[in-house]
Chain A
Amino acid sequence: MKKFNSYFFLYSGLLFFGLYGLIIAVDPYDKLGINVFGLKTKAVASSRENKFYLLESSKDAYEAFILGSSTAHKYHTEDLEALTGLKTFNYAVQHTTPEDYVAIINHIRSMFKPKLIVLQVAFVDLDKNYETDKILYSSPLKDFLGQESKNTYIKEDIFSNNYMTLDALRDTFRVILINIAGEIRHQYLAHGNYIPQKDGTGPVQVVQFSHQNWILDLNRVEMLKKIQKECKDAGINLVVISAPVSIDHLEKIQADPHMNNALKIYKNVLAETFENVHDFTTEKVREFNTTEFFGNSTHPTRKFSKYMLDEIWRKK
């Protein structure tokens, strides 16, 4: 009669500590800097680490840089080089906010004397409810954080409840499987370019639609102003692009009064902060409404990214 209770507590203890221990050992979100099994890739793309070390180990003297979130992944350095003649590195990383841009520019300037920075700022980047990715604070970029960020990040420890979740459990097993038998995602090639993708012809899926509670983050606006000032003082040509979204995505935003107003605020902030801004969050995207130009509603393909660069440099 007593078997069930004893076994239940025993098995529960073993299972729980076993699974939690596995999650910590795998560290699927790279929050703890642990990699017991020497895994090549983690659940969340380590784009900050990848690009950081790619740049550090490169022998090229880069003069132009492309910054942004994953929405800027598909800018190809060859396309910008063809327009400017400047050796280019694509430093777009996942899930960025202006804190990342400050750190990345600090890193770039610690190694190079850039002449051109193309910075793509997305609508979500200025949303207070869109949290800065905590991976920034455990990545090598943490040593290049702006002064305003140095005191704000919270040190993750192994009892952080980010890892006491089903998602973390799932991603732990996914990371293990991918490392054993799967395809490693988000690989970067020379100069930070993204691995080539096959463009489709189908409809564009609306994704990452999380703007319903958009509130302007004034601290991030200050960071953008700082970026503009530092670039101007250092003689760096800073070209800013508002990250494009597909027409369906844009219309969804415009259909909601709050989001539509937020979009206007975002555009005004960019226009007032930067001297050289190019707005692609417009109706112009209507004629580009297939997966040939947008992999999904927030991620333009190389073709559309090239189109944007061509448009900007044609105007020049």
Chain B
Amino acid sequence: MLYREAGQFKTTYAEDMAIFPIRQDRIALAILVGIAFIGVPLLATFHVWPFGSDYLLWAILLPFLILALAAIGTNILVGYCGQISLGSGAFMAIGAYSAYKLATGVHIPLASLGFAIAIPPLPVLASILLGGLMSAGVGILFGIPSLRIKGLYLAVATLAAQFFFDWAFLRLPWFTNYAPSGSVNAPELDFFGVVVRTPVERYLLCLLFVTVLAVLAKNLVRGNLGRQWMAIRDMDIAAELIGIRPLYAKLTAFAVSSFIIGVAGALWGFVYLGSWEPLAFSIERSLDLLFMVIIGGLGSIMGSFIGAAFILIVPILLNVLPTELGLPLSTQTITHLQFIIFGSLICYLLIKEPHGFARLISIGKEKLRLWPFPY
């Protein structure tokens, strides 16, 4: 009964084209943003339940935010532009390692040419953003095959990117600044004199990145470029006939998607992990991101958040719930259960609702608008 839009009249097209044209949605979002930006940090600072320890921040909220960001990037490519990618993990790695190299100073000795390229260490913020740009560049490179090949074949091409960069970051010591263990340490997170150290600060930093990038991504997908991507996804022939250049549409999708994933990768390394090995960005990460997008909702920014939350929380719930219910399960059983639940859920969603949880929610909202009447 509360969810009615009767009496909310729009008098301009700008109002009608707002992200949330219904007032109740705007109020709900404002509350959510308020909780995320003010409520959570306050509770966490004073260690009030459920933030008694830092577990919730470290183990759930921080990875949730960063993976949601990476899922948004994946969703732009897979959900909006329809180009299947199995290389998201590689683009996270490119973002992370580029940011690392830029933050610690780049030195390329070109002995045969008689000089060396040297870039002094850059500030952290610049490194993270440039890491994203680097990832965008590589994304464009690996997007070029998409002009010729489609579907599964393209997925294989992006898989090649995944394996190539896994190998490169593991075997080429230049990327890890010749660290003997192969793992690298993130620099101090110094943002214009403000040093980010505590979990709360890290959480706020990620929240800021995610909020800004999510809004910008939403702007893109509801603007003309987003319509070009979706047109290419839905029917590329008709898209060409209304003047959309497949080259431009596909490569911008690859670039924007890789940029967001790259920034997420840099945050994952710098803010969440602190020190990492190439294993952190393996093929499993790519698959996880793909699952998030499919479960959350292909072609939906909100779906990326839901998918990330689901993929993160289900394993944790499976760990905690059985013991709480007095049903102690072995770790092995839990891992198996996890596979069973994810696998069957993806099959179910692909068949019944290819647009994932996000579509289920919007169907629910449509029903709610009429409730308690069926129509």
Do A and B actually bind?
no
Question: Which residues of B are interface residues toward A (Cβ below 8 A)?
Answer: none
